[in-house]
Every structure is written in structure tokens, then in C-alpha cells.
Amino acid sequence: MSIETLTAAILGKMSGMNKWRQDFLKHLFRLFLNMRGRYTFLNAERYGILGEMAYRKNFGRPMDWATFNYHLIMQSTAAEWFNVFDPSYLSKSGKHTPDVGWHWSGCAGKAKWGLEIGAFSVVDVVNHTAMHLVAQQTLKEEVEQHESLLAYYGSLVRLHADMLLKISKFLVVDAYFSRKPFVDKVLASDLHLITRLRDDAVMFYPYLGAQRQGRGRHKSSQVAWMFATLAMNTSVLVPATIKMELLMKDVCGSNPGSNGPK
């Protein structure tokens, strides 16, 4: 199947796409495969069939890339998926790009100067591959509207929850996100979260015994245990009548980079 045929099949499923817009996108995807050097409007004019201003104007028009990618994933993968979310660091020099600054780089294990995007992908379990769904740049003014960076990431999940649920009810994230501000927003979106606890997570059973009389704070928990110290063949049974509370401390471990940004 040629790239023009594939693109036409996907665009035919999307609303609000007139013939001129469809023809431009089919031409654009073929152009990107043939271009040499930098992907600029001036270089597009050199290898393409349109003028530089035509490319600029078409790029300035809104495009629902999330829906386009959704149809591409549904058409190109098997019927067993789960969603994945993870912020990604993008190297960018200079000081004038919007929201360029210090962002966490998981590969480098430290904060680096550049940009950050919150990226959602879909994993094809049968074919052992993943495809990009949608991404959103981390903007300082949007982060400041939430109580923490984790709460902001959680708001991205709620923003795209409808599309994520059409693909799978499962969302996979790494250990950095296994904290209340993010987990609460994911659960409110009717998604099932798959993750693991941080290496320094501490868990407590609630105290159900008799409380002492008089002034002062009542005892709320007992039997603290470190999740990381459990053997793989050990299981902890909790009676159905007991609600187990997970209280996780933000304690800096010996390897702070292993669980994402602090």
C-alpha cells in the first residue's frame, strides 16, 4: 500500500477534511520521505510542488493529529493494546523558544536545558511494537495552574481520557507517577493504572485497635514495611474488611535518578 493510499483511507474517516486539505497532506507525507537536509519551509519548496508561503499557510491551519494517529493505529496494529504515558525531554539550545528551560532527562539522569512533551503512545502487545498517539508540550503557565507537576500530568490524562478509553482501559506509567496527585486524576478518568511503587515507598497497615482516651492524636497506622524488601515468593494477605492505606514518603534514596525527577 502506497503512502498516498494509506493517507487517503485515514483522512476519509475524519470529518471536516475538504479535498484541498486531503491532497496537501497526501503530498506532504510523500515529500517528507524525499526531502534531504533540514525540514524547513524553504527546503520544502525546493523538493515539493508548492511555494514556501503555501506550506507556511497550511501548517498554520489546525489539524486533529490525535484522531489521525488513532485511525492509523487501529488500521496498522492487532486488536490487543494498552496505553502508555511518559514525559520526554527534547534537546533545544537558545533562550527564545517558548518554555525552553530545565527539564528532567531520564537518559542523562539529570535536568537538562531544552523542551519537554507529555507523550501518549499505544503498545501493540501482539506485534511487540508501539505507535505514537498524541503529545503536548509542557508549558510553565499551565503547570502553575496546578498544585504540582504530577497534578499537571494527571490533567493531561483527563484531557485525553475519552480517546484513551476507546483504545484500552489500561494506562502504564513508571514508578515516578505512583503518587496521589497523579493517581487520583487517573482513577477519576475511569482508567486502570499499571505502575510500581518507588524504591523508597513505605506502606502501613491501618491501626484498628482500641484508642487511648484523652487529648492528643489518635494512632492511625502500624506495622510499617518496605515494599522493596519483600521476597518475590512472598504474598501479603489483607482481610476484605480491612482497607489498606498506602502512605508513600518522598525520601531521597541512594539513586535519586532511578525513579524519575524529584
What does the chain come to in residues?
A: 262
Q: Which domains does the chain have, with CATH numbers?
A: 3-59 (no CATH), 65-194 (3.30.420)
Give the up-direction half-sphere exposure of residue 31: CA atoms within 13 A in the CB hemisphere. Answer: 20
Q: What is the mean pLDDT of each run of 10 residues along the chain (262 residues)?
A: 86 88 92 92 94 94 92 90 95 88 91 94 94 94 93 95 94 93 93 88 76 82 57 48 38 40 46
Q: What pLDDT shows up at residue 93? A: 84
Rounded to the nearest 5°, which phi and psi values hold at 149?
Answer: -65, -35
Q: Which amino acid is at 47?
A: Y
Q: What pLDDT shows up at residue 256? A: 36
Q: How many C-beta neighbours within 10 Å does residue 81 have?
A: 20
Enter the C-alpha cell of residue 154. Answer: 494527571
Burial class (CB in 10 A: 0-12, 13-18, 19+), 17: middle
What residue has cell string 512533551? 117
CB 122 within 8 A of CB 83: yes
Whole-number Å distance between alpha carbons of 178 and 195:
7
CB 221 within 8 A of CB 209: no
Handedness of CA 191, 194, 200, 202 (dihedral sign): positive
pTM: 0.76
